[in-house]
Amino acid sequence: MGRGWGWGGIKMNLPLLENQKNLAGKRTLLRLDLNVPVREGRVADDFRVRKILPTLEFLHKAGARTIILSHLEGKGGDSLRPVWRELIKKYTISFAGNFDELAKNTGELENGGFTLFENLRADPGEKANDENFAKKLASFGEIFVNDAFAVSHRAHASIVGLPKLLPGLAGPLFAEELARLSGALKPHHPALFILGGAKFETKFPLLKKFIRLYDSVFVGGALANDFFQAQGFNIGSSLVSKTPLDLGSLTTLNLHLPNDAIIRSNITITTKSLDNVSQGEKIVDAGPKTLENLRQLISQSRFILWNGPLGEYETGFDNGTKNLATMIVQSGVESVVGGGDTVAAITALGLENKFSFVSTAGGAMLDFLANETLPGIEALLINTKN
């Protein structure tokens, strides 16, 4: 049994990879999240790759025979070969494009060696959590290690199926994610929660929860548009939720919204107050007054949790997000951040190591903070409950 984490009155004890003895020669199925952006056959952002290198080093030194499992979807490719080419810069790793090749590679593995299996989601059994698919994967290993916290909100075969068939362990990155995000549920006060991006339907429960937990909550990005619309502002063609939400319960003194924005029309990009948006215009980023208000909130805080950009990061409106990242770092306040575009901004600025913790997770981070568990956590707890 490993170290325990407690939150919300619940005490969890996960078996940890770092506490395991006698790994030499043991066939280890290692689930990683290598779902990274690929452009023109090359890894465009190696953040997640770099984060799992300590795990690979641990298994290499321990003499385990490691079969790496991962997926790639919606990131510019459907094969893990570009990721494999990135990994072999650090370690000797064979690649298996199918189960026959995996059987051959596994049989040839030496102690401390690795083989990477092709994209799990190429088989429909992965997403369907098909028992036969899980059994086929399990046949290659003696133990299972989940070091893919970022995908552990998915009840897929490689996340929840394998721990039913093999002894399951939490990897070092998984354990760190869990510990750090658990800490965000009981922050030092005054605490500030900054929530941006879109997909309000999925973030609404989290917002309702953190309004009660944190001293100040700032809502930015497309999420703020729902509030503006509810307040009767004209938001033009700005993105809003498809389903109207009951925001009355969130109208509290500790909720903060943008008070100006970068507005795009067909011909101009201007800064306006939120009561001055015209039909056909679109809110695309936080304005200078909003950023100054955020600076004040940051200066009054001892802990900051941040997920999601302040603007349309994917279309180039990244100024607000990058300014926010810089302000948090300059403040020296304890900070936990996550989300794909948020991390991309931090990495682009070279600030990755300046935050207290940068999570590899997006959806899993939000789900864990809202529910205080994930399917992948529950799956690893199966053997500890028996």
Task: Sort 385 into a burial class: Cβ within 10 Å, 0-12 / 13-18 / 19+.
Answer: exposed
Place of tokens 């180039």: 316
At 281, is the secondary structure helix, strand, or coil? coil
In this structure, the strands spanning 269-273 and 260-264 are antiparallel
Is the Cβ–Cβ distance between 129 and 121 less than 8 Å? no
The share of the chain scoring above pLDDT 70, in percent, equals: 94
Q: What is the largest CA-CA distance in the chain?
A: 67
**Range of lowest pLDDT (27-31, 192-196, 247-251, 341-345):** 247-251
Intra-chain end-to-end CA distance of the chain, in Å: 13
Mean pLDDT of 18-27: 95
Q: Is the peptide bond before 190 cis (omega within 30 degrees of 0)?
A: yes
Q: Tell me, what's the pLDDT at 249?
A: 65
Instruction: Give the type of residue at 178.
Output: L
Report d(CA 219, CA 18) in Å as an integer.
Answer: 38
Instruction: Give the type of residue at 246.
Output: D
Here the tokens at position 51 are 């984060």
**Residue 63 Ramachandran class (φ > 0 left, ψ -120 to 50 alpha, else beta):** left
- Enumerate domains of the chain plus CATH numbers: 4-176+372-385 (3.40.50.1260), 187-355 (3.40.50.1260)
Mean pLDDT of 87-107: 97
Report d(CA 168, CA 170) in Å as an integer.
Answer: 7
For residue 80, name the pLDDT band (cuts at 50, 70, 90).
Answer: very high
Strands (E), 278-361: 282-286, 303-307, 334-338, 357-358
**Residue 76 Ramachandran class (φ > 0 left, ψ -120 to 50 alpha, else beta):** left
Instruction: Give the type of residue at 313.
Output: Y
* Helix then strand then coil, % of the chain, to nearest 5: 40, 20, 40
Is the Cβ–Cβ distance between 13 and 4 less than 8 Å? yes
Q: What is the pLDDT of residues 256-295, one digit of tens each?
A: 999 999 999 988 999 999 888 988 899 999 999 999 999 9
